[in-house]
């Protein structure tokens, strides 16, 4: 191609890119970076391949279920281009190891799905002076942006100075697999443009909606914020630590006796089990003794879902144990004057039930 040619291909061969996350975004990004001939690719991910990943994580397959995603992705990349050097890192990224893992690569790709790691990657990119290509996708929507590029490129913290108190992931909210493919491919494209000198060094956010008549919008973001805690003149902010384990921790701190494990709830009678997932998800699979009350319905009218008999214990379940906490809180607030009624949410939700009680219970 005119404007690319041999020099562009040699630049790719001599370049290095580190991809954090070998999931829905990382897989298509890695696939196209490998096919383009990037000489060295790093992959960071400490998760293993699960069957429920395969609808969007296209480098993995049924034969690699149970394998580290880094190893599965490396095998697929080598089948595309055996000359590429592939480095795999299977430990969680934290403020203690981020700089060490990322410093030897030219470009960082954020293909993760949680806020703590996004801030960590952005702050580390600023500290190392590396461009960060960040992607995100949920449901039918996605976005992509290049941070810390050029002398005035803003960082993630410039746009979002205050981290959110909660962080949803595509595992919790659902995702159409092809959407992650669109965003992951755009991330690979931006990296290729940077490597070959085709990028304009401007920070723009591309917003994608699979359902819109015009699916792409571009938002010009401007320059860095001089007061930014990370990349501003006095920036020293450093965000780190592994992403929270929402399955065990939940979105809120539960006091003693406010939560129950999947193993324990299976041994209690009499009780009522309320499943607060959307009706579509309840139709996929549910516990035989459970009733479906979508979270919005329960929050709107919690009094309708407390049993008349105070001795009947109430347990709330959802997919991963987050929505169930909000539902349990609403019922407890309604019942706070009564000390003898048991209302608890199930830690880890139906994912924990499948893992610890019934291995044949579907995981989606």
Which are the catalytic amino acids?
170, 318
Distance, in Å, from the CA atom of 102 to the CA atom of 93, rounded to the nearest integer, reads 10
User: By C-alpha distance, which of 119, 66, 73, 68 is closest to 242?
Assistant: 119
Distance, in Å, from the CA atom of 195 to the CA atom of 193, rounded to the nearest integer, reads 6
Residue 38 C-beta-side C-alpha neighbours within 13 Å: 28
User: Does an H or E element contain 254, and which?
Assistant: none
Residue 22: count of CB within 10 angstroms of its CB? 30
Q: Which residue has the tokens 């790093």?
A: 42
Residue 218: count of CB within 10 angstroms of its CB? 9
Distance, in Å, from the CA atom of 152 to the CA atom of 155, rounded to the nearest integer, reads 10
Distance, in Å, from the CA atom of 126 to the CA atom of 134, rounded to the nearest integer, reads 13
Helix (H, G, I), strand (E, B) or coil at 173: helix
Query: Residue 220 — left, alpha, or beta (φ > 0 → left; ψ -120 to 50 → alpha)?
Result: beta
Q: At what angle do helices 177-196 and 26-36 cross, to 10 degrees?
A: 40
Q: Which residue has the tokens 């990322």?
A: 102
Helix (H, G, I), strand (E, B) or coil at 182: helix
Tokens of 65: 């279920």
Q: Which residue has the tokens 């929507």?
A: 141
């Amino acid at each position: 191609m005119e404007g690319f040619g041999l020099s562009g291909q040699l630049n790719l061969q001599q370049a290095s890119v580190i991809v954090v996350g070998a999931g829905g975004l990382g897989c298509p990004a890695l696939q196209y970076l490998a096919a383009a001939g990037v000489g060295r690719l790093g992959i960071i991910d400490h998760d293993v391949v699960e069957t429920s990943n395969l609808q969007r994580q296209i480098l993995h397959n049924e034969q690699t279920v149970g394998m580290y995603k880094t190893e599965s992705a490396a095998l697929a990349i080598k089948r595309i281009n055996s000359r590429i050097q592939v480095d795999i890192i299977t430990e969680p990224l934290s403020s203690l190891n981020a700089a060490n893992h990322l410093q030897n690569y030219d470009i960082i790709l954020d293909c993760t799905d949680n806020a703590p790691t996004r801030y960590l990657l952005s702050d580390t990119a600023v500290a190392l002076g590396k461009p960060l290509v960040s992607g995100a996708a949920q449901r039918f929507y996605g976005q992509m942006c290049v941070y810390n590029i050029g002398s005035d490129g803003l960082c993630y913290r410039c746009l979002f100075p205050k981290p959110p108190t909660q962080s949803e992931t595509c595992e919790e909210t659902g995702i159409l697999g092809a959407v992650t493919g669109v965003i992951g491919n755009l991330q690979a494209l931006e990296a290729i443009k940077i490597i070959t000198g085709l990028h304009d060094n401007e920070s723009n956010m591309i917003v994608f909606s699979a359902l819109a008549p015009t699916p792409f919008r571009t938002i010009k973001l401007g320059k860095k914020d001089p007061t930014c805690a990370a990349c501003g003149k006095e920036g020293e902010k450093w965000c780190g630590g592994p992403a929270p384990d929402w399955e065990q921790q939940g979105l809120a701190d539960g006091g003693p006796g406010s939560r129950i494990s999947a193993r324990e709830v299976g041994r209690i009678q009499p009780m009522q089990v309320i499943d607060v997932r959307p009706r579509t998800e309840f139709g996929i699979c549910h516990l035989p003794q459970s009733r479906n009350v979508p979270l919005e319905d329960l929050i709107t009218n919690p009094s309708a879902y407390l049993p008349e008999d105070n001795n009947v214990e109430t347990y709330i379940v959802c997919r991963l144990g987050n929505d169930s906490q909000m539902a349990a809180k609403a019922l407890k607030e309604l019942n706070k004057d009564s000390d003898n009624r048991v209302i608890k949410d199930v830690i880890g939700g139906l994912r924990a039930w499948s893992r610890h009680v019934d291995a044949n219970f579907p995981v989606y």
